[in-house]
Structure 1
Amino acid sequence: MRLILFTLTVLLAACNGRKHHLEVRDDTRPYIALSTFGFYQGGILDVKLSSFQVQPGQENKVFGLSLDRTLSDAMNPYLDSHQDKCILEEPVGQQTSGPIVFFLMDLKNKTVHVNCSADWNIRIFKNRTSISAIRAKRHSFAEVSDSAFIMQRRRKRDTIPTDGHKDSVENQACNKLELPMTVEKKDKFNYYSMNFAMYVAMKADEGLYNLYFHACPNYQTMPLSLSFNVDIEENNSGNFLSAGEMPLPALYFMMSLLFFLSGLFWVFILKKSRHVVFKIHYIMAVLVFLKSLSLMFHAINYHFIETIGEHVEAWAILYYITHLLKGAVLFITIVLIGTGWTFIKHILADKDKKLFMIVIPLQVLANVAEIIIAESEEGDAEHRTWRYIFIFVDLLCCGAILFPVVWSIRHLDDASATDGKAAINLRKLKLFRQFYIMIVCYIYFTRIIVYLLKITVAFQYVWLDEMFREMATYVFFVLTGYKFRPASAHPYFTVENESDEDEVEVLTESGLTEGLHKTKVLNRTAPPATIVEANEEERENLISKRESSHEYD
């Protein structure tokens, strides 16, 4: 119970939407990833940095923000090449890996200097209210007649200088732009604040935008402790989801409906089955319905983020609970099927019980880490730590669930060579090997292939990784249900009959018995045979005949 209360407390603390609020306290990191968001045309980014505090005498150091644009969620080219040096200390004109803009904080003069690369074409505004005025002007400009529009284009073309000054013209929207900073003094410390906004006006400017905070002194051996607050609001024409997340609410709802209907069909099969239904079959039904509920609450949760930019706590908590239960029941079901529980044995072995004691807590920890990663701010110092914990624990769980399947395969392999029931055990062995391959493919696809897909596709198709993950899960559920369905003729449920009607035994081949078989036919209706004891003379004659038969061998 304490573990559940602690888990819910952590998750409630991590309930954040797409209106980001990050508090950084005594941080010594050289750079902090603040946000990653995919913008369509009409998207708005509003950033407010407040209560920025540095140690006295460090106002001349270089601090600031960088905002760059990429087309996919792969590794950032600027961070890869600047792990040991501060990118803000280089001229922005040297950055050629994509559009980027620097916000250099001049704490002495209380201003922010904005510098753009040559291929940056988006205007930077002092605040969000300035964007509303620009959007109104653009709307009125769209109503100008065609002839007037052509004349304006001609006048604008006449004012364009030669190619040697092309970069300065392209960057006049943000180069040499200075944003004001406000200073508030408390307890003999200065607290600086700044604000800027960005508006994606053209379709050519769509992309995945990455916002970072840089503290250039922290690249040295003696880092500084920094504290500040950041409030970030991102939206695409009123939609608070990133471009690659917009289809997710509908996707989760459709997959929830699909799992629910499949669960009803599975229950119908169990009720109508004339064969033996085991407890594990009902656990499989519970797993399918938990998966359906988890996806339903996830869809509702994303719907509220889409409309208001933040969670509704009730739906978020319901999603967290069902997600934790679903993850635990999934691994329990796989382990129980792998051990053959209720199918071929009704009591778990000691090693199976020890495996459960290891796998279940690890799986709960992995699910908690996954939720915290998804709901915490990207710039939190603990965000990367929880990501490493999730990857490590999830790999441990995925490796642990393979052990009972391997144990069962070895047991059946040994039994098929010793107990005389080779045909039955070989069929069971084939089934367990198929189940082993299914688990390996499921883990490989949902953990590796989906990640590679996420960092490869364009920013607006990031939702495809979630679609393939859920489809792979559905296929795995369907195949597992089909392989282990209730059926008397199924190799998994075949009962070994010690009194077969016709049992064929191959005799040891010798000179006289080569190619012969011994067939034992049992007639249950025949009366029992009468046993007559032989006298001493008959026994001696029988022994002499057996000895004389060996003379011709």
Structure 2
Amino acid sequence: MATDKRWMFTGVMIIFILITESHCRLHHLVLKDDVRRKVHLNTFGFYKNGYMTVNMSRLSVSGDSPGNIDSSTIGFSLDRTSSNGFSTYLDEEIDYCILKKLPGSDVAVALLLIDFRKNEVRMKTSAEENIFPNIILGLAKTKPQEHPDTGEGKKVLENGDETKQEPETKPTPEPKTELPPVVKAEGPSKSKRDASEVNKSEVSYPLQNRGGDYSFQFSFNVSTDDQQGLYNLYFHNCYSKEAQTSRMLQFSIDIHIEEKNPDSFLSAGEIPLPKLYIIMSVFFFLIGTVWVHVLRTHRADVYKIHWLMAALPFTKSLSLVFHAIDYYYISNQGFPIEGWAVVYYITHLLKGALLFITIALIGTGWAFVKHILSDKDKKIFMIVIPLQVLANVAYIIIESTEEGTTEYGLWKEVLFLVDLLCCGAILFPVVWSIRHLQEASATDGKAAINLAQLKLFRHYYVMIVCYIYFTRIIAILIKFIVPFQWKWLYQLLDELATLTFFFLTGHKFRPASYNPYLLLSVEDDEDLEMEDVVTMSVGVAEGVKKVKKVSNGPSEESETMA
């Protein structure tokens, strides 16, 4: 118990440390001496009148002189897709730098190429007119739009002011007021077209250079229905692939990103999530209430694990309530309230650990069939509980850091691996129970009882496998397939699958005298008593019969009957 408390305390402390660095939909990413070829900065689903503003306040390179770097080596790419994460343009020819490709006319892509020699940013786009938003580029100090909203939006841009930008950069853009300047600013006076490219447009803007720190800003508005979609922003470093030397080009960047839909800072597919989580929390609370009523009604058949099962839906309900509150504040101001976020992470951690512990206890038959855990069962819990703590810490780190950081990708892989290990570990107790029952059914003479137990354990095993398979594979595939505005379906299916799993588990292991699973533990003792009674009865009957066969007179017969 002391070890478990130390694990819990460590997890809570990590939560408090990490949550203070979370900026959510008002992003601030700082990279130092990074050498990655492609950095995924952000993915966001935009409705009509949504906007994005990117303020690169500081970019510097080391490993080579900026004057020796080709203009197609460092830059950004912005592409639009209809579903989550699939960019056909970026997925093609992975080994080739996409900044050196000319975007095809069949994709909505914009490339922003940084030319250190001429101190300018060249934009290439190939999308048809009005299919891709008009991107406005310029120096970080020239932002005509103002956003009179929350103070946090100002804070993000004030951080950019620390890079010696002009004070006028404090306001952030408002989509309603930004749209007219975007239309007016189309085709600025400094732009130039490359006539040699068919259906390609190339526009150049100045790049600010202050002592080797480069900065510029770009923004866009989604002004039509055709421009709605999922936008992916990447930073590219193609130097290491092109240079035939052992040197690596390291870059450091300080970038602020603000993105917003007309009425929410959430991505298009996340806007329904606060309401969804509240509704699902009500369902979990109701199923928990029904379960407690069943326990109170059948007190004579209640085991300790039944109360542990009762705590699970209520913990899940609380977790969903705090998750909804967290998303509500993100939707309204672009960042969470730290207190609510911490409470959500704590309940999320408790829910995850409680779920896997309950599944493992039921799988071992604890409290139903046996009242002690074997050494194998104890080893499972020694593995599952720390893995669950690690999985939740990985989840918290992912939620609290920007996508572009190296830690984000590392902990995302850790979370995926640990989650699979936990799912595999909780299957072992059920498999061991099934194997034990198979062996016992052929040796101890109680084939009917053991086969009934075997059937129930197999059903529970199938339930767990289906639950894991659906929530870890099927639902995630749906997340990537559905259109960007239906991304919330993944969360809906995941919560419905969890609710169904809770209901079926409670129904199968409910405390009722007619439940065949619970009768099994009592049936062993009753069966022994019935065997003794039947044996005694048969023995008496057989004795009477034999005496009758050898009797030679009525006196003996009557004496025997008496």
Q: What's the TM-score bracket when you normalise by the shorter of the two chains?
A: 0.7 to 0.9
Task: Show the counterpart of 1:129.
Answer: 144
Shift of 1:375: 3.3
The amino acid that maps onto 1:182 is Q
Residues 183 and 348 from structure 1, CA distance in 2 versus in 1: closer, same or farther, beyond 3 angstroms?
Answer: same
* Equivalent residue for 1:11, pick from 15, 18, 22: 18
* Equivalent residue for 2:49, pick from 42, 49, 74: 42
Distance 2:17 2:434 in 1: 41
- Higher radius of gyration, 1 or 2: 1
Aligned 1:369-448 pairs, distance under 5 A: 369-448=394-473
Shift of 1:268: 1.1
Secondary structure, aligned partner of 2:111: strand
Distance 2:472 2:21 in 1: 24
Secondary structure, aligned partner of 1:47: strand
Distance 2:445 2:530 in 1: 16
CA contact (8 A) 2:16 2:342 kept: no
Secondary structure, aligned partner of 1:196: strand
Shift of 1:383: 1.2
Deviations 1:272-321 (CA, angstroms, capped at 9, x unpaired): 11432111001111111110111111000000010000011000000110
Distance 2:177 2:334 in 1: 24
Task: Show the counterpart of 1:467.
Answer: 492
The amino acid that maps onto 1:458 is P
The amino acid that maps onto 1:194 is F
* Equivalent residue for 1:227, pick from 252, 255, 260: 252
Aligned 1:172-211 pairs, distance under 5 A: 175-185=201-211, 190-211=212-233
Tell me the matched-pair count.
Answer: 481
Deviates further, 455-464 or 73-82: 73-82
Distance 1:5 1:101 in 2: 43
Deviates further, 12-21 or 325-334: 12-21
Secondary structure, aligned partner of 1:65: strand
Task: Show the counterpart of 1:27.
Answer: 34
Aligned 1:319-358 pairs, distance under 5 A: 319-358=344-383
Distance 2:178 2:443 in 1: 87
Deviations 1:383-436 (CA, angstroms, capped at 9, x unpaired): 111111111111111111011001111222222222232222221111111000
Structure 2 runs not aligned, ≥5 long: 1-5, 147-172, 182-194, 545-549, 551-562
Deviations 1:140-177 (CA, angstroms, capped at 9, x unpaired): 9xxxxxxxxxxxxxxxxxxxxxxxx9x98x87xxx443
CA contact (8 A) 1:184 1:192 kept: yes
* Equivalent residue for 1:112, pick from 98, 110, 121: 121
Shift of 1:501: 4.8
Does residue 213 of the first structure (1) align with residue 235 of the second (2)? Answer: yes
* Equivalent residue for 2:288, pick from 260, 263, 282: 263
CA contact (8 A) 2:281 2:318 kept: yes
Residues 499 and 397 from structure 1, CA distance in 2 versus in 1: closer, same or farther, beyond 3 angstroms?
Answer: closer
* Equivalent residue for 1:72, pick from 83, 86, 107: 83
Distance 1:403 1:130 in 2: 60
Does residue 84 of the first structure (1) align with residue 95 of the second (2)? Answer: yes
CA contact (8 A) 1:14 1:372 kept: no
Deviations 1:306-351 (CA, angstroms, capped at 9, x unpaired): 0000011000000110111111110000000011111121111111
The amino acid that maps onto 2:210 is E
Distance 1:298 1:478 in 2: 22
Distance 2:174 2:528 in 1: 91
The amino acid that maps onto 1:59 is G
Deviations 1:446-487 (CA, angstroms, capped at 9, x unpaired): 000011101111111111011000000000000000000001
CA contact (8 A) 1:17 1:310 kept: yes
Distance 2:220 2:367 in 1: 62
Q: CA RMSD in A?
A: 2.8
Distance 1:345 1:182 in 2: 73
Shift of 1:368: 1.6
Shift of 1:373: 2.2
Aligned 1:302-321 pairs, distance under 5 A: 302-321=327-346
Secondary structure, aligned partner of 1:492: helix
CA contact (8 A) 2:387 2:418 kept: yes
Residues 107 and 360 from structure 1, CA distance in 2 versus in 1: closer, same or farther, beyond 3 angstroms?
Answer: same
Task: Show the counterpart of 1:457.
Answer: 482
CA contact (8 A) 2:25 2:266 kept: yes
Distance 1:176 1:416 in 2: 77
CA contact (8 A) 1:123 1:199 kept: yes
Distance 1:104 1:418 in 2: 76
Secondary structure, aligned partner of 1:78: helix
Shift of 1:129: 3.1
Distance 2:174 2:334 in 1: 23
CA contact (8 A) 1:501 1:521 kept: no
Deviates further, 7-16 or 41-50: 7-16
Deviations 1:499-543 (CA, angstroms, capped at 9, x unpaired): 555789xxxxxxxxxxxxxx74649xx9xx99xxxxxxx9xxxxx
CA contact (8 A) 2:49 2:175 kept: no
Shift of 1:216: 1.7
The amino acid that maps onto 1:49 is M
Residues 301 and 278 from structure 1, CA distance in 2 versus in 1: closer, same or farther, beyond 3 angstroms?
Answer: same
Distance 2:380 2:311 in 1: 22
Does residue 101 of the first structure (1) align with residue 127 of the second (2)? Answer: no
Shift of 1:85: 1.9
Residues 479 and 14 from structure 1, CA distance in 2 versus in 1: closer, same or farther, beyond 3 angstroms?
Answer: farther
CA contact (8 A) 1:86 1:216 kept: yes
